[in-house]
Structure 1
């Protein structure tokens, strides 16, 4: 970059409107992350969301761990190392039980049923429900699913693929995806090596094949994922939908407007997910007519006090410490799920945004006035006894993101910096 920077300095273009250097930032970035994540993960209605890092999910569930041996068989390390040894799968399981990583499914029993079981055992508050779950985990009556990933009750069953060719070009270990996820033809020839080297994770003699019951691909290409999917939902391509786009090539945010309507039966991504929400709400009137409560294991997150919760590494399962949610193990949070109103929640910006604000990376700022502005000046949805900003159309969602993002609203950027000043003790 030095030549370009020198040129800008010599021509007096630094700090000038339209000048400066907008360079490659080095990795994929989603610029307006705070409001985007609020809408994408529905934290305007309930927290925390259920999120999973994809590499761990696929490494475990495609059974690639079965084809690996002990870590030191592949990597020479200095002697007397405490961490650089053992099987990677054991470290995955350890990371989950100590709260370093999330994993789904979470437990070997349905998390929607655990709250009811805890209440039947006498738990009355969320804290008592969490304490009951801790005792269940400590005694072994309840297990993390990562400890026995090949047990049928711990398999993932439904896979939605969106905006990625997950089968083939994005899959690390494509043949194992075909063999263990789909149970179809494959060219996997590797020998299984993990037996006898995994200690904490249960080894099953026969690896399951075909874990998924349903694979749905939302795609505008007939790529490998679409070819192997049970259902392909055609989505609109560029110029056929309104959207927001950011890239790792620069820090600009691109609002995109549809130039032509989608072809044939294709719909925009937003319309497809909205249709899902509507159908799920309709079905839930029979299966989940009333709100139900879910138990969510929350990992110790960066940019929160929890990231300093473990000054030393101690494993509660080995008796080195007590299992304490949010400190020596994941936090355990009770979350209400209202499936019958999923569609209503999808098309409206929830009140938690107005009451609690939004934030990212340990910062939080109020958008109460912006929320009220949207109610007064933009489309609204009326339900649950109050008007709320509408997210029914993708343009409404995009405009809400642009209004509340510090990257696109200078007033919001000021609020974010103000909160950072308070965090670090500046006036």
Structure 2
């Protein structure tokens, strides 16, 4: 089932006073935000962020040896010998508004996956047209995520496995970085878009994407690491060679 997108649609609507998890969490967020005005407000939060793969942080443990600063084996250095430290602003009264809309960092930072950053500017504009825009508050003019269907369509629009434009864009970027022919893998699917309604009608084959290592190009079935073996895309190691996994 890996090469398909399927919707786990409900057999029936929630009976009597029951609600979907999506609706329950939105109501909780709204009530929480109301109480937060008097009790929490805006706070600064110190967050530990894990050392990520496909970033310079991967070189933090030479030879694959992770020393423990808590045991005195090394000095605590954020981002190298311990998690990174980030200060995050928590606008608690705005939780519900942010929960119900797509945030601006999607365009500002893009969507990173496997070392490739997708730029979904066109998709965000289209989602605003289809889903509507928030009218006021911190989320004003942002695409709405206030229903489960809108949230599902947003996920599908922002993934290169279900949006051919992003798949083609990602492979073009990857081709420039690796010097290997990659763009053709999604060229035939550049105009494809998968919606939530499509997945309700039948399982939908995914699009070959730089988010994964396989290939469905030409109707073949997904096999992991096809891109690495056949297109000679470097492996996700310091040298790009597979033997570093051994």
TM-score w.r.t. the length of structure 1 is: 0.39
Whether 1:294 aligns to 2:45 is yes
Residues 282 and 340, structure 1, Cα contact 8 Å, conserved in 2: yes
Uncovered stretches (5+) of structure 2, i.e. residues with no partner? 182-246
Deviation string 1:232-252 (CA, Å, 9 cap, x unpaired) is xxxxxxxxxxxxxxxxx3321
1:303 corresponds to which of 54, 61, 67: 54
Distance in 2, Cα, partners of 1:328 & 1:392: 41
SS in structure 1 opposite 2:156? helix
Shift of 1:261: 2.5
Distance in 1, Cα, partners of 2:139 & 2:167: 32
Change (3 A) 1:268 1:305: same
Deviation string 1:99-132 (CA, Å, 9 cap, x unpaired) is xxxxxxxxxxxxxxxxxxxxxxxxxxxxxxxxxx
Task: Name the residue aligned to 2:153.
Answer: 399
Counting matched residue pairs gives 178
Residues 310 and 327, structure 1, Cα contact 8 Å, conserved in 2: yes
Deviation string 1:62-115 (CA, Å, 9 cap, x unpaired) is xxxxxxxxxxxxxxxxxxxxxxxxxxxxxxxxxxxxxxxxxxxxxxxxxxxxxx
Change (3 A) 1:324 1:264: same
Distance in 2, Cα, partners of 1:294 & 1:419: 35
Shift of 1:298: 1.3
Distance in 2, Cα, partners of 1:307 & 1:357: 21
What does 1:178-327 align with in structure 2 at a 5 Å threshold? Answer: 249-257=1-9, 260-289=12-41, 291-311=42-62, 312-327=65-80
Deviation string 1:20-76 (CA, Å, 9 cap, x unpaired) is xxxxxxxxxxxxxxxxxxxxxxxxxxxxxxxxxxxxxxxxxxxxxxxxxxxxxxxxx
Distance in 2, Cα, partners of 1:419 & 1:413: 10
Structure number having the greater helix percentage: 2
What does 1:404-415 align with in structure 2 at a 5 Å threshold? Answer: 404-415=158-169
Distance in 2, Cα, partners of 1:318 & 1:256: 47
Shift of 1:417: 1.8
Uncovered stretches (5+) of structure 1, i.e. residues with no partner? 1-248
Residues 304 and 362, structure 1, Cα contact 8 Å, conserved in 2: yes
Shift of 1:315: 3.2
Task: Name the residue aligned to 2:218.
Answer: none
Task: Name the residue aligned to 2:170.
Answer: 416
Task: Name the residue aligned to 2:90.
Answer: 337
Distance in 1, Cα, partners of 2:135 & 2:113: 29
Distance in 2, Cα, partners of 1:278 & 1:301: 33
Q: State the Cα RMSD in Å.
A: 2.1
> Which of 257-266 and 274-283 deviates more?
257-266
Deviation string 1:306-364 (CA, Å, 9 cap, x unpaired) is 12211044333444432110011111111111110100001111111122111323321
Change (3 A) 1:265 1:351: same
Task: Name the residue aligned to 1:114.
Answer: none
Task: Name the residue aligned to 2:129.
Answer: 376
Residues 355 and 368, structure 1, Cα contact 8 Å, conserved in 2: no
Task: Name the residue aligned to 2:214.
Answer: none
Distance in 2, Cα, partners of 1:418 & 1:261: 43
Shift of 1:395: 0.7
Residues 348 and 392, structure 1, Cα contact 8 Å, conserved in 2: yes
Distance in 1, Cα, partners of 2:4 & 2:26: 28
Shift of 1:378: 3.0
Shift of 1:376: 3.2
SS in structure 2 opposite 1:364? strand
Distance in 2, Cα, partners of 1:391 & 1:339: 18
Change (3 A) 1:286 1:408: same
